[in-house]
Structure 1
Amino acid sequence: MPWYTLLVLAVAAERIAELVVARRNATWTFSHAGVEHGRGHYPVMVVLHTVLLAGCLAESVLAHRPFLPALGWPMLVLVIAAQALRWWCIITLGPYWNTRVIVVPGARLVSAGPYRFLRHPNYVAVVVEIAALPLVHSAWLTATAFTAANALLLTVRIRCENTALASAAPA
């Protein structure tokens, strides 16, 4: 179990690193006339992602969830793959990547890196991570509840982002 706690703490540290990058990128995009959209759902997203991490640890301890190698190891691989995909997105978008929806008017959509294959690859990483991280240690209630909550949030988030990108696209 201590190794699972370390894994969840490592994911938390990764999230903090994301926020540092996002803050730097927000400063850059705002200095380039960036416009923020969807401020209302952003705090909900922050709470969801924070409580997910606590839920992973709480369920595994309080419900005495075992580590099941046949489930845990593949889920760990998916968690690592999700992190790799997320950082591929961050590197590909450069200063345009953010945890918030901030769009620079007139900027072209990025079609390199993972964006060659998917319109929203970062959200694929989020979906995989939210499902897989709890299942590394058999926390199936957390995986189920947060996957459902994330699906609802992503319907709002993706609609917001698509609208923002369409309104800012060059003519």
Structure 2
Amino acid sequence: MTSLTAFTVVVALVALERVAELVVSKRNAAWSFARGGVETGQGHYPVMVVLHTGLLVAMLVEAHLRRPDVPSALAWSMLALVVASQALRWWCISALGPRWNTRVIVVPGLAPVTGGPYRFFSHPNYVAVVLEGAALPLLHLSWVTALVFTVANAALLTVRLRVEDTALATLPPVGVGRG
């Protein structure tokens, strides 16, 4: 198997993981709405979908057009970072349980989650997104994609974090509520 084929397989696996995320997200959004959940930030959500879908497509196009020789040490180190980002993402999903989804939906009365990776910092899922957004394209030297995604994602996260922090501020303090 060539490195380009292996890269294509890895990107396809990440795409399948995204589909699994969307299934979990849809189920969890229904759970939140059934409990009075309130969604905010709908305006930036389509941009996020396009950006993340574009990442998957762009890195494949770039790799197939450029067909670079990828140093083995770089490929393996980037693969390790991709796997680490996936592990962190699913740790976040597990820690948030039915409250996790790809949208910003908060259930009134539930205190913020402070377990799992959230005991270390407030937005670990976005650390996973940033890490993966750089490492996955660089797995096959798609550096243009990595750079463009990183800059665009930074702009998007500026909006997303503001929306999410505002929504989370409506929740009761830690230790109060049903959560």
* TM band (smaller chain): over 0.9
Whether contact under 8 Å (2:38, 2:107) holds in the other structure is yes
**Which of 136, 154, 158 is the aligned partner of 1:155?**
158
| Counterparts of 1:66 and 1:55, CA distance in 2 | 18
Query: Residues 18-59 of structure 1, C-alpha deviation per residue, up to 9 Å, x if partnerless?
Result: 000000000000000000000000000000000100111100
Say whether residues 1:46 and 2:46 are aligned partners.
Answer: no
What amino acid does structure 2 have at the position aligned with 1:9? A
Structure 1 residue 112 displacement after superposition: 0.5
- Work out the percentage of aligned pairs sharing the same amino acid: 62
Structure 1 residue 70 displacement after superposition: 2.3
Q: Which runs of 5+ in 2 are unaligned?
A: none
What amino acid does structure 2 have at the position aligned with 1:47? V
Say whether residues 1:120 and 2:115 are aligned partners.
Answer: no
| Counterparts of 2:80 and 2:58, CA distance in 1 | 20
- Of 69-78 and 28-37, more deviation after overlay is shown by 69-78
Whether contact under 8 Å (2:130, 2:150) holds in the other structure is yes
Whether contact under 8 Å (1:68, 1:138) holds in the other structure is no
Structure 1 residue 128 displacement after superposition: 0.2
| Counterparts of 1:66 and 1:117, CA distance in 2 | 38
- SS, match of residue 151 in structure 1: helix
Structure 1 residue 138 displacement after superposition: 0.5
**1:8-157 map, 5 Å:** 8-157=11-160
- SS, match of residue 162 in structure 2: helix
| Counterparts of 1:83 and 1:38, CA distance in 2 | 25
Q: Which runs of 4+ in 1 moved over 6 A?
A: none
Whether contact under 8 Å (2:79, 2:139) holds in the other structure is yes
- SS, match of residue 43 in structure 2: coil
Structure 1 residue 120 displacement after superposition: 0.3
Count of aligned pairs between the two proteins: 171
- SS, match of residue 42 in structure 2: coil
TM-score after normalising by structure 1: 0.97
